[in-house]
Amino acid sequence: MQLSRLQSPSPPRLIAALVTPFTAGGDLDQPSLHRLVAHLRSAGIDEFFAVASTGEAPLLDERDRLAIIETVRTAAPGGIVYAGISGLGHRHAIRNAGDAARAGADVAVLMTPFFVALDQEQLVAYARAVADASPVPLALYHHLRMPTPIAVPTVATLAEHPNIIALKDTSGGDHNRCAEVLAATAGRKFLFFQGVEKLVLPTLAAGGHGCVVAQACIAPQLFRALFTAWRSGQQARAEELQLQINALWEIFGRPGVRQSFAHFLHTLKLPLQQRGVIATTAGAVPGVRFSAEFEQMIMDFMHEHLQSAAAVRAV
């Protein structure tokens, strides 16, 4: 993968944050993962974030991490594969970066360390150590669930590193840091990717370079249509599509969804399973059960919101 393609700020990028399919017995389901990538490619998506938070990365062992990356690479030979490498420390992340590169990843994606909090000076040293050793370009991943936030001045400092090329930012539905990051990194070849579905169009309007979103797995046509409308200057159409995305995003605020990470993932896996894209809704945590009422809520919600999303075609 040519670095110039990875660092190109235009056109804006639509990157799907992939769920990880499992069999009912808890093993990685590679055929389902292959179908998921094919499902997304048929809707015009050719950039994929594997082994991400949505992909249950903290719960995966090294064997499954590599198998996921290899499967996505095989299913999308000409696409761009971003792979999560985060772990318990910089040595763990460096080892994951090397393994991900050998498995076919084009970009390694680094969150702050699990469990432990760092100050911003320590975070800079941590990310630089990983970037220095990574055989592929590194993207940073800011997420509010992590114990250490990546402050905007820290992003600006790390953007000076020649092997750090982007930031995925998931700061919640009410705060878009895009303009702040772009101002702080002006003049550098550094990309800003939005991680919140609700903020995709505001991010594009602010000059951001795209998004990395999980709901693209279940409504790829909707997100692709928004990007196409934006690129062609159809502002009213783009705003209409963003409203549809906002309505879909509201599932995350429904009762029960936030009670566990597995419940959140079920809002993504259940629609895919019902469409035959993945075989089961199983996750990496064994023994998870969902109430009939919770599943019916998801099905009713998706019946209402995905019917129109599936009918959307790029303009």
pLDDT in tens, 116-175: 999 999 999 999 999 999 999 999 999 988 899 999 999 999 999 999 999 999 987 667
Report domain extents, the chain.
3-311
Q: What is the mean pLDDT of the chain?
A: 94
pLDDT in tens, 30-42: 999 999 999 999 9
**Cα–Cα distance, 55 to 86 (Å, whole number):** 12
Catalytic-role residue among 126, 141, 198, 269: 141
Q: How confident is the model at residue 1 (pLDDT cuts 50, 70, 90)?
A: low
Asked if 100 contacts 69 with a C-beta cutoff of 8 angstroms, the reply is: yes
Q: How confident is the model at residue 315 (pLDDT cuts 50, 70, 90)?
A: very low
Please give the angle made by the CA atoms of 288, 291 and 297, to the nearest 5 degrees.
120
Q: How high is the pLDDT of residue 10?
A: 75
Q: In terms of pTM, does the model score above 0.85?
A: yes
CATH code for the structural domain at 3-311: 3.20.20.70
At 155, phi and psi to the nearest 5? -55, -45
Q: How high is the pLDDT of residue 11?
A: 86
Q: Which two tokens stand for residue 283?
A: 């996750």
pLDDT in tens, 251-261: 999 989 999 99
Catalytic-role residue among 168, 189, 198, 269: 168
Largest CA distance in the chain: 53
Average pLDDT over residues 272-296: 96
Q: Is 141 known to be catalytic?
A: yes
pLDDT in tens, 40-55: 999 999 999 999 999 9
HSE-up of residue 162 (Cα within 13 Å, Cβ side): 3
Asked if 194 contacts 169 with a C-beta cutoff of 8 angstroms, the reply is: yes
Q: Is 168 known to be catalytic?
A: yes
